[in-house]
Amino acid sequence: MDPKEISVTAAVSMHPIILMILFGLTVEQTTSLCAPMEYIIHVEKRECAYCLAINTTICAGYCMTRDSNGKKLLLQSALSQNVCMYKDLVYQTVRIPGCSSHTVPFYSYPVAVSCKCGKCNTDYSDCVQEAVKANYCTKPQKPSNM
């Protein structure tokens, strides 16, 4: 076989592989299951008589990541591990009942409006994958009037 024929054959056979890679990168964001999810936060202060159960939304779900086995073939930016994070959020404030007069009885918390997959910024986000096991009350519980 002539060397010119080999190089043409290799270029033609690579074409479907390149298309599959491009298709995979295009579909990545549409297959991510990162969305706002209902969540209950339990809030209490030492100076207050009650614990408050607050219904809110957080960002949770699955984001596509890339296996680092191909790190020699891919750019460093292509090897990032994405997490489900806030795209848009608002803050709401509630009043914790039963607080002493010298205590500020208000608590503000984030409410996820929309979510996205992206790099986790540890400056303002907790990037740990394990669930926090301290979401409970040690005082009598009152539901939020939201």
Domain boundaries, given as residue ranges, for the chain: 30-64+78-120
What local confidence, expressed as pLDDT, does residue 17 receive? 62
Mean pLDDT lowest for which of 26-40, 99-113, 120-134?
120-134
Q: Contact, 43 vs 135, CB < 8 A?
A: no
What local confidence, expressed as pLDDT, does residue 113 receive? 96
Domain 30-64+78-120: CATH architecture, name and number where available: Ribbon (2.10)
Bridge partner residues of 141 (DSSP)? 51
**Token couple for 89:** 């959020």
Alpha-carbon span 123 to 138, nearest angstrom: 30
Res. 9: pLDDT tops 50: no
**Token couple for 10:** 């290799």
Alpha-carbon span 45 to 27, nearest angstrom: 46
Between the two ends of the chain, the Cα-to-Cα distance in Å is 76
Compute the chain's Rg from CA coordinates. Answer: 24
What local confidence, expressed as pLDDT, does residue 132 receive? 54
What local confidence, expressed as pLDDT, does residue 136 receive? 72
Alpha-carbon span 78 to 72, nearest angstrom: 11
Per-residue model confidence as pLDDT tens digits over 66-106: 655 666 666 655 556 788 888 999 999 999 999 999 999 99
For tokens 């579909």, the residue is 27
What local confidence, expressed as pLDDT, does residue 69 receive? 63
Alpha-carbon span 93 to 109, nearest angstrom: 6
Average pLDDT, the chain: 74
